[in-house]
Amino acid sequence: MSTSVEQVTGAARRGPGSGEVAAFRNVSKDFGAVRAVNDISLTLYPGETVAFLGPNGAGKSTSIDMLLGLREPSSGSVSLFGGTPRQAILDGRVGVMLQSGGLMPDVKVRELIRFACEIHPRGYDVDEVLRTAGITELADRMVDKLSGGQEQRVRFALATAGDSDLIVLDEPTTGMDVSARQAFWAVMRAQADAGRTVLFATHYLEEADSIADRVLVVHRGRLIADGTAAEIKARAGLRKISFDLHPAEGPDLSLLNTIPGVGSLDISGHTVRINSNDADAAVAAIYRAGFYPRGLEVSGVGLEQAFITITGEQDAADLSDLSDRSDPAKENAR
């Protein structure tokens, strides 16, 4: 039995002729008896905006650490621009924004950003960086007096202090308000339009859905999906059905639990919401049961629900395989 969910191959992926920005080739990373990353292979290409998704403990941070040369793989190889991660960073080809750290206390924001611009091999003008990051008004503030959202914007300025070809962002909008997040992603889209590759890890799946042209999903250390957000949502095979019902105008609402293909059912007041893996059959069954839905809408599920579905499928496949391996008769038949 195969234990992996079939990967989604995205149309946004570029071919080898586009040149490689980064490549993982059969990469695994062990911490004692724990395998944090399990045989991951992937390639990033110029101009891509790539979301890196996975539950806590899925291997995202370890993968990013190996990409940046902060950890070495236990097996396999990681390359950046055809060389080592360390050399790419020394050459100023990678800008990095991590979740925490990287901010010196007892200095003003302008001083910190100027330092980053001066040490970058292809550094920008400090005022340009401040303006692009939207922190000009913070220039004379002490770094250790900033709010969490302001610190994130300063980290972003540090990541874009020079002309880097790859920008790596780890939970970049944590602590930012809605307007700051929108402004941040507008800048990131401009970076990608200029030919830079943007790789970001986030727990805000709506950001990945609206921003990324490619989505990578890791789960239990393995890459289980790789494609556009639309392809991954299609891979989940779910559709969202919503409508209004008035209990006095039809059968008992408990009959909705018998509708075929229903993955989840939510009834709030008069509004019914269903996630279904066979929307056509579900809608037909609703009418056959004697319901009279008002304002019926059928649409695709969001990336968050698709993410939950495909990681759940992977867990189910892992449990099935574990059961097979514990049964000698099944194991011998493999």
Residue 175 predicted with pLDDT over 50: yes
Q: How many domains does the chain have?
A: 2
Residue 276 predicted with pLDDT over 50: yes
Kindly state the tokens that stand for 178: 């809605």
Judge if 296 and 168 occupy the same domain: no
Residue 114 predicted with pLDDT over 60: yes
Q: Does residue 308 sit within a domain?
A: no
Comparing CA positions, the residue from 195, 210, 174 lying closest to residue 98 is: 174
Judge if 228 and 244 occupy the same domain: no
Judge if 249 and 224 occupy the same domain: no
Judge if 125 and 262 occupy the same domain: no
* Residue with more model confidence, 251 or 285: 285
Q: Does residue 10 sit within a domain?
A: no
Judge if 134 and 167 occupy the same domain: yes
Q: What is the pLDDT of residues 228-245, one digit of tens each?
A: 988 888 877 778 899 998
Q: What is the CATH number of the domain that holds 296?
A: 3.30.70
Judge if 36 and 109 occupy the same domain: yes
Judge if 262 and 136 occupy the same domain: no
- Domain end among 233, 268, 286: 233
- Domain end among 212, 233, 254: 233
Q: How confident is the model at residue 260 (pLDDT cuts 50, 70, 90)?
A: confident
Q: How confident is the model at residue 191 (pLDDT cuts 50, 70, 90)?
A: confident
Q: Does residue 216 sit within a domain?
A: yes
Q: Does residue 319 sit within a domain?
A: no
Coil/strand/helix, residue 317: helix
Among 108-112, 123-127, 289-293, the minimum mean pLDDT is found in 289-293
Kindly state the tokens that stand for 223: 């890459």
- Domain end among 214, 233, 252: 233
Range of the domain at 198: 16-233
Q: What is the CATH number of the domain that holds 54?
A: 3.40.50.300
* % of the chain exceeding 90 in pLDDT: 51
* % of the chain exceeding 70 in pLDDT: 88
325 — alpha (psi -120 to 50), left (phi > 0) or beta?
alpha
Q: What is the pLDDT of residues 7-51, one digit of tens each?
A: 343 333 444 335 899 999 999 999 999 999 999 999 999 999 999
Judge if 123 and 182 occupy the same domain: yes
Residue by residue, DSSP assigns 97-163 as E-SS----SSSBHHHHHHHHHHHSTTBPPHHHHHHHHT-GGGTTSBGGG--HHHHHHHHHHHHTSB-
Would you give the DSSP letter of residue 289?
T
Q: Please report the pLDDT score of residue 8 as a whole number.
A: 41
Judge if 121 and 267 occupy the same domain: no
Judge if 220 and 260 occupy the same domain: no
Judge if 293 and 222 occupy the same domain: no
Q: Does residue 3 sit within a domain?
A: no
Q: Does residue 46 sit within a domain?
A: yes
Q: Does residue 334 sit within a domain?
A: no
Judge if 267 and 287 occupy the same domain: yes
Alpha helices in the chain (DSSP H): 60-67, 85-90, 109-119, 126-133, 148-159, 178-193, 205-211, 229-236, 279-288, 303-326, 328-332
Q: What is the pLDDT of residues 298-332, one digit of tens each?
A: 887 788 888 888 888 887 777 766 665 665 555 55
Q: Does residue 330 sit within a domain?
A: no
Task: State the chain's mean pLDDT as an integer.
Answer: 86
Pairing of strands 239-244, 222-227: unpaired
